[in-house]
Structure 1
Amino acid sequence: MSQIFIRVNSGGTKLNEDDFIMTLLSVYDPKTRKRIEDWCEKSHTPGSGTSFNPLLAVKPSHIVRAAVGLGFGRGRLRYARLILNGRDLKTRETSATKRQENFEKFNVALDKVLNLNDWHAFINALGEAGYVNENMVTSENAIPLSYAITLIARHRFGISGVELKRIAKRWFFMAIITQLYTGNFESVFEQQLHAIDQLHNADGFRDWIEGEIAARLTTDYFEVTLPNELGKNQASGPVWNAFLAAQVFLGSRVLFSTSTVAQLLQPSNSGTKTAFDKHHIFPANFLKGGPYNDMKNGRANFVLVDYQQNISISDEDPRIYVTSLRQKLGEEEYRKTCSDNALPEGFETLEYPEFLRRRRLLMSKMVKDAFEKL
């Protein structure tokens, strides 16, 4: 096998773990390689009975990670390569007999990973949690690794139906907002799989899941960490997307509009221009040159609006544009639009720093409320 890698690598490009794994599949089980690649390709293009989804263009490494996590309880691609090369991870011996045994076990797990009913049930659960388009998913590994966790719940511990969907929603929401599967994510996933291997029944798994979530999404997280993160510049990143997901889940309407946030974020609503804009509540040009110029792009100063609405608001003082829209809406609708967008009532009259402080807390509370209802 080492000679095969040398020949494949003769062009001078260093092979990574993905390359090694796909080469192993080409040599020992080309049908499985083609099956994985076809499934991934179909995730990119809409079609009936395919793996297409609006959140992720699936890669072979995503599939391999999920299959090896489910079938062997290992979280690093390095172990996937060793397993498919015939390594016995306990004795550290490599043999053709063990390779055949490992491939059989891998394909059993792969059948479960590539089950379209389970895959789409999982993707639909993420949509129900508010994650409805690919721009909201800041970590591509969060989807396949969270999927592996739900498959373990289903196939190893017999959890199904509404309970399985609840686990998928809550686990993914926690993983994406805390960036659980970024950076040194292989070590994290490996440790999780090791912990799961020590569990003996479904109740133990349920307790483990809830314990992992509770350890990360603490009261301090929602009351201190999240508001601080929302104080940073630019309306992007996992906490901003979690706020949008909370709005989708809670059915929030767009600021000063009858459209819902969910409607604007649906991929089908995006052509050459997206259906929405990220609007500065206190317009950037209104703040420009003043004492709060450096704070104008704080995350708490953004809200989604219909792009035509954004054009009409332009750079006006919020006391002017809000007063006009408030009169057209009436007080009840004004209070509703404030609630739906985590805005303090009378926000247009507040000093900018006080507005940011209050809104960060309201945004954090909305995220917490949504999560607790998942």
Structure 2
Amino acid sequence: MTGEKFNLMQYSVHAILGLIEAEDFVIPEIQRPFVWKRSQVRDLIDSLYNGYPTGYIITWKNPDVKTKDGGKANGKKVLIDGQQRVTALMAAISGKEVLDDDFNKERIKIAFNPLAEDETKRFAVQDASHLKDKKWIPDISVLFTAGFKQRAFENEYANDNPGVDLDELSETLSRLKGIANRQIGVIELDASLEIDEVTEIFIRINSKGTALSQSDFVMSKMAADTDHNGSLMRKTVDYFCHLAVKPDFYSQMIKDQEFQDSKYAAKIKWLANDYDDIYDPNFGDMLRVSFMHQFRRGKLADLVSLLSGRDFITKEYRDDIIDDSYQKLDQGIMNFINQYHFSQFVMAIKGAGFVSSKQLNSQMTLDFAYTLYLMLLDDPEIPNAQIKRYVQKWFVLSTLTSRYIGSPESQMDRDMRSIGEKGFLKFLSEIEASALSETFWTVTLPQNLETSSVNSPAFNTFLAAQINQNCNSMLMNGTKIADLITISGDVHHIFPKNYLQKNGIKSKTKYNQVANYIYLDTQVNKAISDEAPAVYFAKVKEQCQTKNVVFGNIMSDTLLKTNLAENCIPNNVDQMTFENYDEFLQKRRMLMADMIHQYYMGL
């Protein structure tokens, strides 16, 4: 049919494995952990043995590119769906090793019992019992080796199992070997398809309906590259992200000699001793930042096209574009993994008061902040000593305004283009004037604080403001908000929940308002129990006179006034009961918004 952008083919299992061996089919996830359970591998082999359908494999052809000599290089086919099935076949039939969750190489061996009377018990994941019981063939991959001699194998099996019917055994083994000839449907997507079209096709075909991310496509392109260190760059992304979450993985990583011999290994060694969790990027985050600050583009789909050699003007594909794109991406990855860059960026975020991962609302916001940091390193308009301060301001601004929530790539793309055209300082000034007007601080921000979500950007920024200004916990001079968030504190209610419920305020969204939240020492919270603020704050005022401590450790009017101010609690809280709860929430939201405003202006 004219206009069709795919071919529906049938390949035998043997042919698919041969195409992979010849690197005509590329499995982009082959260097990533194999996520199937061993029992799923067993089930796949059993399905093939019985002639059951096993679903389609989807490949996407890399475009043919123009070479420098005027010729064309044929593109390879990248598997974008069916990777786990194909990896399972490679493990069970070809005897290939796969990577487990810790990137250890291991064999998955499927045992087979030709004499099983129950068809459902012919196959099993190999264990010690299959090595001892002569009825079992411990590893079916031996039957698929090039030099396998079936008659000799049958005779040996018959010697180990007297009385076996050789004709039946021969028929059964031939049926097992017939797995190699089983047909699997392959949908070959044309190179002319855009990523959005490929994703849509994937969703419609894939029963799970899980969309492929653009970072998946980038990783696929890198895996298919053999000329520009693409596979090593891809492995660097994998290893960095794995180490960021699990530094102990380093002992496994160093077993990869190919990687250890590369220039990347020494550059990520520092992660073996890094246990900070403020920014633990996944491979999508890492690719995004590496790409954006080098190419000044925000859409990862563009990177897929560039790594394919696409000229956005002529629409043709050229190998010089591939060369340039891999060179830029390589530099982007090297900049990303640089210990000094990464640690200085994390220091900037923590210096702004975001000291715990639970304060962070958007990974995209972090991604752009790191992108901005790397971009400003090359900005002659901004002294190096000021870079962190500007990154802090932008991070807080974009957090407060949820700038990268919704359509983050489009917004990032626009922002980078504007920065390129106007320069960062002018761009920042314009955005501050439009997004952080006086109305924002006095109306919009207090409204944003009218929420029960502890994960709201406004509340998390308020906590950051308190941490940045080294504020003490309520009624505890010397106990810092930062320590309560990172070590042992919990969010508690200024107007106790039970007290409000007993007095008719039953709605969770009402008594759980963030303006009623405070990070509080556990012992202080227990001492307050279910008392009204008018009761327990009155006792605190009294202890400032008598020096007889009942709550916390504040024993002077001056310290109490300071403590109320740094926790944005109205001065007349000692006169408030449930009847004043709405008044309290309104006043505290205004105080919180004002603190955030002053904090931002001081960055």
Answer yes or no: same fold by TM over 0.5.
yes
- The number of equivalent residue pairs is 363
Q: If you compute each CA radius of gyration, which structure gives the higher value, 1 or 2?
A: 2
> 1:334 offset after TM fit, Å?
1.3
1:261 maps onto 2:478 in alignment: no
Q: Which deviates the most, 209-218 or 235-244?
A: 209-218
1:272 maps to none
Contact 2:359 2:460 (C-alpha < 8 Å) held by counterparts: yes
Normalising to structure 2: TM-score of the pair? 0.57
Bigger relative contact order, structure 1 or 2 (CA pairs below 8 A, ≥6 apart): 1
> 1:209 offset after TM fit, Å?
2.0
Contact 1:300 1:360 (C-alpha < 8 Å) held by counterparts: yes
Contact 1:277 1:310 (C-alpha < 8 Å) held by counterparts: no
Q: Which deviates the most, 136-145 or 34-43?
A: 34-43
Residues 148/94 of structure 1: CA separation in 2 closer, same or farther (3 Å cut): same
Q: How far apart, in 2, do the equivalents of 1:38 and 1:160 lie?
A: 33
> 1:56 offset after TM fit, Å?
2.6
Q: How far apart, in 1, do the equivalents of 2:417 and 2:459 lie?
A: 32
> 1:104 offset after TM fit, Å?
1.0
Residue identity in the other structure for 1:149: L
Q: Which deviates the most, 82-91 or 129-138?
A: 82-91
Of Structure 1 and Structure 2, the greater strand share is in 2
Q: How far apart, in 1, do the equivalents of 2:396 and 2:314 lie?
A: 38
Residues 157/84 of structure 1: CA separation in 2 closer, same or farther (3 Å cut): farther
> 1:52 offset after TM fit, Å?
5.1
2:527 maps to 312
1:9 maps onto 2:81 in alignment: yes
> What are the superposed Cα offsets for residues 269-322 of structure 1, whole Å, 9 maximum, x if unpaired?
2xxxxx112111111111115354442222111111012222222211222222
> What are the superposed Cα offsets for residues 48-87 of structure 1, whole Å, 9 maximum, x if unpaired?
8226532132111111111221111110111121112222
Residue identity in the other structure for 1:88: D
Among 227, 231, 236, the alignment partner of 2:450 is 231
Among 114, 123, 128, the alignment partner of 2:337 is 114
Contact 1:277 1:304 (C-alpha < 8 Å) held by counterparts: yes
Q: How far apart, in 1, do the equivalents of 2:334 and 2:398 lie?
A: 25
> 1:263 offset after TM fit, Å?
1.6
Structure 1 runs not aligned, ≥5 long = 270-274
Secondary structure in 1 aligned to 2:492?
strand
Q: Which deviates the most, 215-224 or 52-61?
A: 52-61
Among 340, 359, 364, the alignment partner of 2:588 is 359
Q: How far apart, in 2, do the equivalents of 1:206 and 1:7 lie?
A: 45
Residue identity in the other structure for 2:217: F
Q: Which deviates the most, 124-133 or 155-164?
A: 155-164
Among 422, 428, 431, the alignment partner of 1:209 is 428
Contact 2:278 2:356 (C-alpha < 8 Å) held by counterparts: yes
> What are the superposed Cα offsets for residues 200-227 of structure 1, whole Å, 9 maximum, x if unpaired?
xxxx321112322332122111100111
Residues 296/15 of structure 1: CA separation in 2 closer, same or farther (3 Å cut): closer
Residues 8/188 of structure 1: CA separation in 2 closer, same or farther (3 Å cut): closer
Q: How far apart, in 2, do the equivalents of 1:358 and 1:346 lie?
A: 11
Secondary structure in 2 aligned to 1:304?
strand
1:372 maps onto 2:596 in alignment: no
Q: How does 1:90-129 map to 2 (within 5 A)?
A: 90-129=313-352
Contact 2:465 2:599 (C-alpha < 8 Å) held by counterparts: yes
1:49 maps onto 2:270 in alignment: yes
Residues 27/52 of structure 1: CA separation in 2 closer, same or farther (3 Å cut): farther
Contact 1:281 1:303 (C-alpha < 8 Å) held by counterparts: yes
Secondary structure in 2 aligned to 1:180?
coil
Q: How far apart, in 2, do the equivalents of 1:189 and 1:7 lie?
A: 29
Residue identity in the other structure for 2:404: Y
Q: How far apart, in 2, do the equivalents of 1:14 and 1:135 lie?
A: 27
Identity %: 25
Contact 1:70 1:151 (C-alpha < 8 Å) held by counterparts: yes
> 1:159 offset after TM fit, Å?
3.0
Q: How far apart, in 1, do the equivalents of 2:558 and 2:238 lie?
A: 54
Residues 125/14 of structure 1: CA separation in 2 closer, same or farther (3 Å cut): closer
Residues 359/208 of structure 1: CA separation in 2 closer, same or farther (3 Å cut): same
2:281 maps to 58
Of Structure 1 and Structure 2, the greater helix share is in 1
